[in-house]
Structure 1
Amino acid sequence: MESLLFNQLDVSEETKKAVQDMGFEEATPIQAKAIPVILKGNDVIAQAPTGTGKTCAFGIPAIEGIDSNDDRVQVLILCPTRELVIQTTEELKALSKYKEGVRSLPIYGGQQIDRQITGLKKKPQIIIGTPGRVMDHLRRKTLRLENLKMLILDEADEMLNMGFREDIDIILESVPGNRQFVLFSATLPKAILDIADKYQTNTVKINVVHKELTVPTVEQFYLEVRESNKVEVLSRLIDANNFKLSVVFCNTKKRVDDLCKDLQARGYSAEALHGDMKQLQRDSVMNRFRNGFVDILIATDVAARGIDVDDVDAVFNYDLPSDEEYYVHRIGRTGRAKREGASFSFAAGREMNKLRDIQRYTKSKIKLMKPPTIEDIEENILSGILGEVKEVLQDGKLNKYMKYIEQMLEELDDVETDTYPTSVEVAAAFLKLSMKNAVMGSSKDVNIDELSRNRTSNLDSYEDSNMVRLFINVGKKDHLTASELIKFIAAHTTIKGKQIGRIDLLDKFSFFEIPKVTLGEAMANLVDQELKGRRVNLEVANKKQGNSGKDRGGKRDRR
């Protein structure tokens, strides 16, 4: 696989800056092979499946070749569907955001043609359209292509499958003969090769060869997870397993930084690794990860090249990679030295097509799994605690502690109240206490009806615990989530996510628990801060507040 960083491309600083804003560091294989060739002006036929970064592969050279002083159409990009037209247009606008005078316009069926004619009068230099609608404008003479410099066919095989061959021929025959012709297709059937032979000259053929999976010891899973739930599902997977070292992959540097902050706010030992960090910083992070001082490493594909650790237990594809080959490299970070490993990929909606492509090219089975439940997490924590207890029992040396248990049993024996706790019950009490203090970064939304029924008894129990329950004047109507509240507390205090107890989100306000010893710090640092656009007020919750919460919450909202 050719390696090429975007900042090494022979393109304008404006384009490099736009690519950097998009969060991309390294060109995908198809981009690394196609961009330099297209920039030279060659005709190209490239075989590349969906999801490999094709749009940047032809979009960057197209934008670089635009003369912003020329108001005529210079580039025409044909796509099979309006969805792809819209998607391509959005990416080209992002790529050209710093290029003054470069204008693009999508034209496709289903949109009013008068609106498109108005857009064409604004003199766009780049047209992205479906063959049928481009033909309509050619017939109406509202689109003229006599000054076209570059013609691009994206997903050419799909256009032929949809019956656009005749339209493509008419369009190709109506453009200048000296234009550059770039063709991208997932497959290269004879009909595609015929088009290339007929309309291209001095053609450069590009084909990205995919590697097969070479890490059979990795068990692969995927979860159908939408963007808004990714942090929570990742937290549950971590909590439900005993992974010592994990690597989480994101596609951009910003995603790496954002996720790292989210996980740290939830109490996880996580560090970021990406290309914006100085080499000294990256070396320091890697050393902490290798030595077990950091449990979770969040990285981009480029930065991950420095990860040479044999005992990584799990790899998470928080974002699906842009190229199937990257998937192989990512999950190869685990299952090394004949150890077993696991990979977990998050996908939803259109990403499922990309996941199928990955499965096809790696010739491996990626199994569907459901996110762990809170009960799964509790069971795992219980198993971990019991495992540690067994080790302590095997080690012995318990005489010092047994006398305290015996003393407790004597003190608790009460003939009058008929209370006779057993040593098994004492052990169960210690287990319950250990569970309460266990580290859990995942959260659980509370059922409002259940909370209302149990509120008084819940509040009674808080008075005798080591936790204090606080009222905050922000709730679900402010679109507050449990993870956002945890991040808010962690950002303004030294209270870690793992120290925060139960969170109850109601419509107009919320309750949360923190250790009593941190109460002063919370009141000093959180009050009058802004959360979800509101000035924060905190109060220690009591029975009266619990019983009259709705009225108090309503008054606060009206004030």
Structure 2
Amino acid sequence: MNFNELNISEEILLAIGEMGFTEATPIQAQTIPLILEGKDIIGQSHTGTGKTAAFAIPILEQIDVNNKNIQALILCPTRELAVQVSNEFDKLGKHMKNLRCLPVYGGESIRNQILSLKKGVQIVIGTPGRVIDHINRGTMILKDLKYMVLDEADEMLNMGFREDIESILEKAKGDRQTTLFSATMPKSILDITHKYQTSPTLVKVTKKEVTNSDIEQCYFEVREKYKLEALNRLIQVYNPSRALIFCNTKLRVDKAAQYLKEKGFVCDKIHGDIVQSSRMAVLEKFNSGKINILVATDVAARGLDISEVDVVFNHDVPENEEYYVHRVGRTGRAGKSGKSFTLVSEIEGRRISNIMAYINKKIEKRAIPSLEKANLIKIDSYVNDLKLILENENVSLTNPIIDKLLEEGYSIHHVAAALIHPTLDFENEDDIDFSYLKRNNRDRNSRDRNDRSDRSSRSPRRDSGNRAPAGDVTRFHINIGKDQDVRPGDIVGAIAGECNIPGSAIGNIDLYDKFSFVEVPTKYENKILQVMNKETIKGKKVFFEKAKARRER
């Protein structure tokens, strides 16, 4: 459906055209008319489907720019996504005079945000924690609020924001229209829709529509210790103009970015331990083309405002099938083709099978190109570059140098070889066998012992409903419990929000009357001890300490 058919004003149509769009995506074509009719919406869609414009366009259509009070509030799970959504509103509303949008989130000066709010804004986009802070301070007045949007609602609940979200919805009661977008529809989401929406209409983009047929998806079986070398080989062979590389952990992001820089690639990284201002600077460099490779974690990627990525590399197979969909959705946008390549170690084989079942599509298995092929591709690329120079530039000024060398007895071949040699770097070491090795009995026995150890460390689900995190786990004792009205979600939200840890990474939580226990991956142990012992939960100062080992039964 063309945007001209959607009863949109000339100002917004002009902005849409300047952004390069003419056809509405399925989620936009279905959602925009319903929001314009005043209906509450439940939108089930994934990254890359155009859902931001699906709610931004109809909200902008109905905003009163002469009223400087807040009329629309959009809640997002991360700072990056809040900035991205705010930028989308700015682009779509660029021809609307007196329109003001403001992103509000933690990690930035609240004083500057308060000053902006006092000047008057019609649309606020923010994270739940910072929004509730403004509401409690009295710096965010919602008396004129008409439109409420929960963007990526499932992710906000996973991060422990449910109490904040419900508190905001309670304080924003009145004659408002509520739109909720979520990739999944767990019971917790349905509870919110039943309580805070009025006869909502479900708009669902099916997996068939989400899985873009223009994206070439394949995977490579690679031994874990050779993943970086395999990544290097693939980048050389496919030579992407703009690539995103996803890793499962911040440490792997650091290692991959450092390795690629040492190999001469122009790249940078983004993850939760990098301060907000630096993250935004990295994104600006990537979007402007100053760097063409960005290495990121899934949490950081949730809010990346990036277009025209031609290749997505999964250095690790994501533990969550939904993350795979979000990763792949970063390429092949706006009708363009894209590629997604996943490196699969031996222990990740089951994950890639689960992903194929989830997206209902077979992902092709390929072999890492040989060293010989990589070098041949380098030659072809170099020859093409030389042809462009010969066909488009004046190279006659170098003739005296070549003539002088020929007079001294050097052949044309020798002269050309001397010029090419410093600029064309061939890989000349022995080629690597990237595929899995057949393990001997000792290796298999060791792996079996490790597998049994991993299985024995898993605990049954407790009050939190979270599964135990994979790998090494640290159990913490916390000095608050049921007597302080603490719920598992409060603990998950506090740890996820203050330590920038995915809510899904937090494991079992055992609540007792006066204290609690929580399990987290050991890699976060030091951060939790440094950060959480300065924080409060439910208004009470908390003290985290490593729990004594459980007795074996």
Give the alignment's TM-score, normalised by structure 1. Answer: 0.46
**Pair member with larger Rg:** 1
Give the alignment's TM-score, normalised by structure 2. Answer: 0.47
